[in-house]
């Protein structure tokens, strides 16, 4: 990773303050001078992340015009122009069909291009609306004066102050600080707050404690520092630019469409060439045969398909948007459906992203607290006296406070000043005890000792509520083992009992149990200070601790966790049944990660890791057969020492994987490894650090609420509610659209043959042309668009979420069976067309046998008295109108067959009767389109009925096919006829 290299070159964190002052021409007391600052601003530009170089709009548009199908249509249009050119050169000025066709092809490409571009534009807009519009402020010292300025005007060398709640405005070398803690989660993914001090503790700038990074949040304390990097030169800016280095990969659907275009082009050229040879053999001139060749190739292009695919995809995108998934790239909809691995973040996606009290231990019992998002769960028994004491300690020994003016907000959603565990406790006590602020006021705080890493506890001393009781109350919380050390008694059912061996053991068991759940456990104790020793007005000294801090009374344990979202276990279960692996990749501690994984079902019940097996069998870890262990937890440290083969091996051997304490780069490695194993990988992420992995993934899913702009830019899809369950909805829709696209394409392809055969018969048997080019375009672009789009609304045939994800190399969108079945079996509705054509001809006076070989006379503009089978004489125009009638009846026949076709395409396996005939209401525009057919001749009605038996035949035949496929799965019939 070149990121690490360029970081190592920087030594701003290692040099002394004096060197730093000279380097940036600043002063750690007075800051920069305003004039110099403006010079530097001029030089470096504003302190903001440049939005990633957006693709120019015209390139985006051009991309819409250059997909696989589009290219096919361009080629066809060019061929049409050539054919038109040849015709004109030969003096046939009346042959405008080719020109019209070329123009139509081009307009279809352009119109669908516009449509796709508009869709993309719309979703980009939705994303843009998320951008934080409020400019960030920063406190800067310039010319020795404190000023508040817009953060983007900061420059290198500026002296800035940050305090709890601020966003760090740039990369800062800390000069002085008090209890300053920052949340680096957006950078490294670690959710533990990191303390920042002026000392250089590590040569790696990412590890050292004296640098605070741009866009991280200062949780508490204050600090002053000198800016060493601004804008894109900050660490986060570099990571963001790293993401743009990861190339865009082709989506599976794009690959499928390319594959499909290959098939079409191959077939078109094969057919075209065959008939070119046939035409030459029959005795046509070379140029004429060439035109036939071109016409056949062009006839193979499914003009309507492009529109169908685009519309189907955008319909699904729209449906997904309603379910809180915004799709940036239309093709991503389907990608989600073929996903086989989801690499999910923990914090915020699987969990609620807020510490919540999960368990309490008092009276020698573990009590479960309500961790649901909406407080709908069960509460525990609060009648015990011990609980009251514990609640008092938890309420008083807490520095967190609610931000003002939040009376209307539900308690779990209120904003709090304070660290995560204190926030959790505050909210918990507010919910159980009620009105904590008032409660705290009643117990006036006399002194407090804040938490620090050496003594690992926090205490405060309060006056009692009862003004007559002059004792002081000391309350303390901290690491349970440290608290226990200081206790000599324990509260059980309100009774202070001596803390003997038995209680110690009970405590240890409870502590281990709760810790094993991945929860952060705190111990609570209190003592009433001796009134004589500590009378009112006693000068408590927090530094000297001139008061009792041992022999306290242990009240209980409270454990906290970031609880999983309510919908996640279900969603994970769905993924499992759908054959999708959910891999957790988190920056959190392995035990926490594992606990949450077990909680949401990523590690299923009864699954063991290698270590578990070793423990159970009492054998060394090395002797355990790795294949026996379903689950595996790998930490970032272990991952660092693994080769990529080992990682692949681990992913292959253990179906249930959790990666803990991983760095953003490692996330990328994990994604790459999954892809090497042939999976289609979806990655969720929110931080800037996730953007390379989001980009690398087949589908990157960013979080709408917590996500950074960089992540949203790199992602293909955005979850507006940050909820993992939405991904599952997306997968379901993606799979459905794949199935439905298959149906749509099968439907669209079918009419290719009845459109082509008239021309082939025209060439070989020289009958008057049964179906004209404009009619074909009308079918492709007008009447058949609605039914093929309606298939996109079709509901799933079986529970698609119970199937394995499709194997992209085996389950193609358009496979041989589909093409062959559509072309050569359902394509037989050309027979219907010819029957109807010959009927119309014969009833007007032209017997089928007369038609054969009639072409040269029929098309001769100079013959005004061609005799029909009855001896009647026809002028050229009369013949031409008769030809138009033929086009119409052929068209009607295709349409009638296509009605059958749309009905049979509703299902691929189930009987239509099982699926329900008119379940998809959108089938009806089909019938409206029939009305259009009535245009040409009022006499047509009886010819509508000629193809009906063929339509019924198609329906019955397909029902038989489906019956066979259902009854004899895996049989020859199934292999050959199931698509």
Partner 1 sequence: MAALKEKRTCGQRCEDFGRFVWNSDDGTLMGRTPEKWVYISLYYVAFYVVMTSLFCLAIWTLMYTLDPYTPDYQDRLKSPGVMVWPDTYGEEAVEIFYNTSDKASGMKMANILNEFLKPYNDTQQLESNNYNCTKGKYFIQNTFSAPHHTKWSCPFTQSMLGACSGFEDPTFGYNCSMPCVIIKMNRIINFLPTNHSDLPAYVNCTVLDGQENVAKIEYFPDRGIMDPSYFPYYGKLAQPTYVNPLVAVRFSLVGEKKAKIQCRVVSHKISYENFHDPYEGKVIFSLKAMK
| Stretch of residues binding partner 1 (CB under 8 A), selected from 551-559, 564-572, 706-714, 840-848 | 840-848
In the bound state with partner 1, the residue whose beta carbon lies nearer, of 527 and 680, is 680
Among 871, 921, 931, 935, binds partner 1 (CB under 8 A): 871
| Stretch of residues binding partner 1 (CB under 8 A), selected from 202-210, 496-504, 536-544, 861-869 | 861-869
Cα(8)–Cα(203) distance, rounded to whole angstroms?
A: 8
**Residues of this chain, 606-665, that bind partner 1 according to CB under 8 A:** none
Cα(445)–Cα(427) distance, rounded to whole angstroms?
A: 20
Among 778, 831, 944, 955, binds partner 1 (CB under 8 A): 831
In the bound state with partner 1, the residue whose beta carbon lies nearer, of 304 and 833, is 833
Does 936 bind partner 1 (CB under 8 A)? Our answer is no
In the bound state with partner 1, the residue whose beta carbon lies nearer, of 677 and 705, is 677
SS3 619: coil
Q: What pairing do the DSSP bridges indicate for beta strands 171-183 and 217-229?
A: antiparallel
Does 758 bind partner 1 (CB under 8 A)? Our answer is no
Cα(797)–Cα(791) distance, rounded to whole angstroms?
A: 12
Q: In terms of Cα–Cα distance, which of 822, 892, 699 is closest to 305?
A: 822
Does 683 bind partner 1 (CB under 8 A)? Our answer is no
Does 509 bind partner 1 (CB under 8 A)? Our answer is no
Cα(373)–Cα(668) distance, rounded to whole angstroms?
A: 31
In the bound state with partner 1, the residue whose beta carbon lies nearer, of 534 and 874, is 874
| Stretch of residues binding partner 1 (CB under 8 A), selected from 139-147, 283-291, 646-654, 864-872 | 864-872
In the complex, least distance from residue 697 CB atom to partner 1, rounded to whole angstroms: 10
Cα(417)–Cα(220) distance, rounded to whole angstroms?
A: 8
Count of residues engaged in binding partner 1, rule: CB under 8 A: 51
**Which residues 6+ apart lie within 8 Å of 15 measured at CB?**
23
| CB 883 within 8 Å of CB 768 | yes
Does 922 bind partner 1 (CB under 8 A)? Our answer is no
In the complex, least distance from residue 830 CB atom to partner 1, rounded to whole angstroms: 10
| Stretch of residues binding partner 1 (CB under 8 A), selected from 101-109, 325-333, 396-404, 827-835 | 827-835
SS3 227: strand
In the complex, least distance from residue 672 CB atom to partner 1, rounded to whole angstroms: 8
Among 104, 679, 788, 900, binds partner 1 (CB under 8 A): 679
144: exposed, middle or buried (Cβ count in 10 Å: 0-12, 13-18, 19+)? exposed
Does 881 bind partner 1 (CB under 8 A)? Our answer is yes
Does 71 bind partner 1 (CB under 8 A)? Our answer is no
Strands (E), 686-745: 699-703, 717-719
| Stretch of residues binding partner 1 (CB under 8 A), selected from 372-380, 866-874, 912-920, 926-934 | 866-874
Q: Can you say whether the dihedral through the CA atoms of 25, 30, 34, 38 is positive or negative?
A: positive
Strands (E), 613-704: 631-635, 656-660, 681-685, 699-703
Reading the block at residue 699, the tokens are 């589908």
Does 809 bind partner 1 (CB under 8 A)? Our answer is yes
SS3 376: coil
Among 781, 842, 910, 948, binds partner 1 (CB under 8 A): 842
In the complex, least distance from residue 575 CB atom to partner 1, rounded to whole angstroms: 18
In the complex, least distance from residue 864 CB atom to partner 1, rounded to whole angstroms: 4
CA distances from 31 to 48, 200, 214, 447, 588 (A): 21, 21, 19, 36, 38
Among 34, 872, 914, 971, binds partner 1 (CB under 8 A): 872
Does 33 bind partner 1 (CB under 8 A)? Our answer is no
Among 27, 488, 825, 936, binds partner 1 (CB under 8 A): 825
In the bound state with partner 1, the residue whose beta carbon lies nearer, of 406 and 872, is 872
In the bound state with partner 1, the residue whose beta carbon lies nearer, of 74 and 881, is 881
In the complex, least distance from residue 924 CB atom to partner 1, rounded to whole angstroms: 30
Beta-carbon count within 10 A of 803 CB: 14
Q: In terms of Cα–Cα distance, which of 783, 749, 894 is closest to 831?
A: 894
In the bound state with partner 1, the residue whose beta carbon lies nearer, of 706 and 727, is 727
Cα(377)–Cα(462) distance, rounded to whole angstroms?
A: 33
Does 681 bind partner 1 (CB under 8 A)? Our answer is yes
In the bound state with partner 1, the residue whose beta carbon lies nearer, of 222 and 953, is 953
Q: In terms of Cα–Cα distance, which of 745, 743, 739 is closest to 803?
A: 739
In the complex, least distance from residue 844 CB atom to partner 1, rounded to whole angstroms: 5
Q: Tell me which DSSP letter residue 32 carries.
A: B
**Residues of this chain, 568-607, that bind partner 1 according to CB under 8 A:** none
Q: Tell me which DSSP letter residue 605 carries.
A: T
Q: Can you say whether the dihedral through the CA atoms of 612, 618, 619, 624 is positive or negative?
A: negative
In the bound state with partner 1, the residue whose beta carbon lies nearer, of 427 and 962, is 962
Cα(889)–Cα(836) distance, rounded to whole angstroms?
A: 6
**Residues of this chain, 694-723, that bind partner 1 according to CB under 8 A:** 698
Cα(681)–Cα(296) distance, rounded to whole angstroms?
A: 41
Among 520, 828, 906, 962, binds partner 1 (CB under 8 A): 828
Cα(543)–Cα(537) distance, rounded to whole angstroms?
A: 17
Instruction: Write a three-state SS string for 87-141.
Output: HHHCCCCCCCHHHHHHHHHHHHHHHHHHHHHHHHHHHHHHHHCCCCCCCCEEEEE
Among 869, 915, 944, 959, binds partner 1 (CB under 8 A): 869
Among 197, 488, 835, 915, binds partner 1 (CB under 8 A): 835
**Residues of this chain, 947-966, that bind partner 1 according to CB under 8 A:** 953
**Which residues 6+ apart lie within 8 Å of 208 measured at CB?**
13, 200, 201, 202
Does 794 bind partner 1 (CB under 8 A)? Our answer is no
In the bound state with partner 1, the residue whose beta carbon lies nearer, of 56 and 247, is 247
Q: Is 513 an annotated catalytic residue?
A: no
In the bound state with partner 1, the residue whose beta carbon lies nearer, of 607 and 825, is 825
Among 643, 870, 935, 970, binds partner 1 (CB under 8 A): 870
Instruction: Write a three-state SS string for 888-924.
Output: HHHHHHHHHHHHHHHHHHCCCCCCHHHHCCCCCHHHC
**Which residues 6+ apart lie within 8 Å of 319 measured at CB?**
733
Among 876, 925, 936, 964, binds partner 1 (CB under 8 A): 876
Q: In terms of Cα–Cα distance, which of 665, 701, 83, 609 is closest to 339?
A: 701
Active site residue: 158, 183, 345, 686, which one? 345
In the bound state with partner 1, the residue whose beta carbon lies nearer, of 624 and 829, is 829
Q: Half-sphere exposure of residue 170, counting CA atoms within 13 Å on the CB side?
A: 31
| Stretch of residues binding partner 1 (CB under 8 A), selected from 65-73, 416-424, 612-620, 677-685 | 677-685
Strand order in the sheet with 325-327: 325-327, 717-719, 699-703, 681-685, 341-344, 581-585, 656-660, 631-635
**Residues of this chain, 234-273, that bind partner 1 according to CB under 8 A:** 249-250, 252, 255
| Stretch of residues binding partner 1 (CB under 8 A), selected from 110-118, 497-505, 845-853, 896-904 | 845-853
| CB 903 within 8 Å of CB 917 | yes
Does 913 bind partner 1 (CB under 8 A)? Our answer is no
In the complex, least distance from residue 681 CB atom to partner 1, rounded to whole angstroms: 7
Does 857 bind partner 1 (CB under 8 A)? Our answer is no
In the complex, least distance from residue 879 CB atom to partner 1, rounded to whole angstroms: 8
Catalytic residues: 345
User: Interface residues with partner 1 (CB under 8 A)?
Assistant: 249-250, 252, 255, 675-676, 678-681, 698, 808-809, 816, 824-825, 828, 831, 834-835, 838-839, 842-845, 847-848, 862, 864-865, 867-878, 881-882, 885, 937, 939, 953, 972, 976
């Amino acid at each position: 990773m070149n990121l690490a290299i360029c970081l190592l070159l920087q030594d701003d964190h290692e040099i002394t303050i004096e060197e730093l002052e000279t380097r940036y021409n600043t002063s750690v007391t007075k800051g920069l001078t305003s004039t110099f600052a403006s010079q530097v601003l001029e030089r470096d530009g504003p302190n903001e992340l440049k939005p990633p170089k957006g693709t120019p709009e015209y390139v985006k548009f051009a991309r819409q015009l250059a997909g696989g199908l589009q290219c096919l249509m361009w080629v066809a249009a060019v061929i049409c122009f050539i054919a038109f050119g040849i015709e004109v050169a030969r003096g046939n000025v009346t042959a405008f069909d080719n020109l019209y066709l070329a123009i139509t092809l081009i307009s279809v490409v352009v119109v669908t291009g516009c449509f796709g571009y508009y869709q993309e534009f719309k979703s980009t807009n939705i994303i843009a609306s998320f951008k934080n519009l409020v400019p960030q402020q920063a406190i800067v010292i310039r010319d020795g004066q404190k000023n508040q300025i817009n953060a983007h005007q900061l420059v290198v060398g500026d002296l800035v102050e940050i305090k709890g709640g601020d966003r760090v405005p740039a990369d800062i070398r800390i000069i002085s600080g008090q209890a300053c803690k920052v949340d680096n989660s957006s950078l490294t993914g670690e959710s533990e707050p990191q303390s920042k001090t002026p000392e250089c503790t590590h040569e790696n700038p990412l590890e050292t404690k004296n640098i605070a990074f741009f866009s991280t949040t200062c949780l508490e304390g204050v600090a002053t520092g000198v800016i060493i990097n601004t804008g894109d030169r900050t660490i986060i800016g570099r990571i963001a630019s790293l993401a743009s280095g990861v190339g865009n990969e082709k989506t599976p659907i794009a690959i499928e469409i390319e594959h499909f275009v290959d098939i079409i082009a191959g077939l078109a050229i094969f057919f075209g060439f065959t008939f070119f040879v046939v035409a030459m053999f029959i005795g046509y001139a070379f140029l004429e045969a060439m035109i036939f060749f071109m016409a056949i190739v062009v006839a193979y292009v499914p003009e309507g398909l492009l529109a169908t695919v685009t519309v189907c995809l955008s319909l699904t995108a729209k449906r997904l948007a309603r379910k809180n998934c915004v799709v940036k790239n239309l093709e991503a909809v389907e990608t989600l459906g073929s996903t086989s691995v989801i690499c999910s973040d923990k914090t915020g996606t699987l969990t609620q992203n807020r510490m919540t009290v999960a368990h309490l231990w008092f009276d020698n019992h573990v009590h479960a607290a309500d961790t649901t998002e909406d407080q709908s769960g069960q509460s525990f028994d609060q009648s015990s006296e011990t609980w009251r004491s514990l609640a008092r300690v938890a309420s008083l020994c807490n520095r967190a406070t609610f931000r003002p003016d939040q009376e209307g907000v539900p308690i779990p959603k209120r904003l709090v000043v304070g660290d995560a565990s204190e926030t959790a406790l505050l909210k918990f006590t507010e919910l159980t005890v009620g009105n904590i602020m008032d409660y705290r006021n009643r117990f006036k705080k006399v002194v407090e000792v804040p938490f620090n890493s050496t003594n690992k506890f926090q205490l405060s001393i309060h006056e009692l509520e009862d003004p007559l009781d002059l004792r002081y109350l000391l309350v303390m919380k901290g690491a349970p083992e440290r608290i226990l050390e200081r206790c000599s008694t324990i509260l059980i059912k309100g009774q202070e009992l001596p803390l003997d061996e038995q209680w110690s053991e009970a405590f240890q068991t409870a502590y281990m149990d709760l810790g094993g759940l991945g929860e952060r456990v705190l111990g609570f104790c209190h003592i009433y200070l001796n009134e004589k020793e500590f009378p009112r007005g006693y000068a408590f000294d927090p530094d000297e601790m001139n008061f009792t801090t041992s022999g306290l009374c242990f009240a209980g344990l409270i454990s906290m966790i970031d609880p999983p979202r309510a919908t996640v276990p279900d969603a994970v279960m769905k993924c499992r049944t759908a054959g999708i692996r959910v891999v957790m990749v988190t920056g959190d501690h392995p035990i926490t990660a594992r606990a949450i994984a077990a909680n949401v079902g990523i590690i299923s019940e009864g699954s063991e890791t290698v270590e578990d097996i070793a423990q159970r069998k009492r054998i060394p870890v090395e002797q355990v057969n790795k294949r026996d262990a379903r689950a595996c937890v790998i930490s970032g440290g272990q991952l660092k020492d693994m080769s990529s083969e080992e990682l692949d091996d681990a992913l292959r051997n253990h179906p249930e994987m959790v990666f803990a304490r991983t760095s953003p780069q490692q996330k990328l490695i994990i994604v790459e490894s999954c892809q090497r194993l042939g999976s289609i990988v979806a990655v969720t992420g929110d931080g800037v650090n996730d953007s390379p992995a989001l980009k690398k993934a087949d589908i990157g899913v960013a979080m709408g609420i917590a996500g950074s702009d960089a992540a949203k830019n790199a992602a293909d899809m955005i979850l507006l509610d940050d909820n993992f369950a939405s991904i599952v909805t997306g997968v379901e829709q993606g799979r459905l659209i794949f199935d439905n696209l298959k149906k749509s394409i099968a439907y669209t392809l079918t009419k290719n043959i009845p459109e082509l055969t008239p021309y082939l018969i025209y060439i070989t048997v020289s009958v008057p042309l049964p179906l004209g080019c404009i009619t074909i375009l009308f079918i492709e672009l007008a009447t058949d668009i609605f039914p093929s789009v309606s298939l996109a609304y079709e509901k799933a045939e079986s529970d698609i979420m119970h199937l394995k994800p499709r194997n992209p190399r085996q389950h193609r969108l358009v496979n041989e069976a589909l093409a062959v079945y559509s072309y050569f079996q359902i394509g037989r509705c050309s027979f219907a067309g010819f029957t109807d054509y010959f009927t119309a001809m014969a009833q007007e006076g032209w017997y089928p046998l007369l038609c054969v070989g009639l072409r040269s006379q029929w098309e001769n503009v100079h013959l005004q008295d061609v005799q029909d089978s009855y001896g009647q004489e026809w002028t050229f125009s009369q013949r031409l109108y008769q030809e138009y009638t033929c086009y119409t009846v052929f068209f009607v026949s295709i349409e009638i067959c296509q009605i059958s076709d749309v009905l049979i395409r509703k299902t691929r396996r189930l009987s239509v009767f099982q699926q329900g005939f008119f379940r998809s209401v959108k089938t009806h525009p089909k019938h409206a389109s029939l009305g259009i057919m009535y245009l040409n001749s009022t006499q047509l009605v009886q010819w509508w009925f000629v193809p009906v038996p063929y339509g019924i035949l198609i329906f019955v035949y397909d029902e038989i096919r489906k019956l066979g496929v259902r009854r004899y799965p895996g049989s020859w019939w199934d292999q050959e006829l199931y698509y």
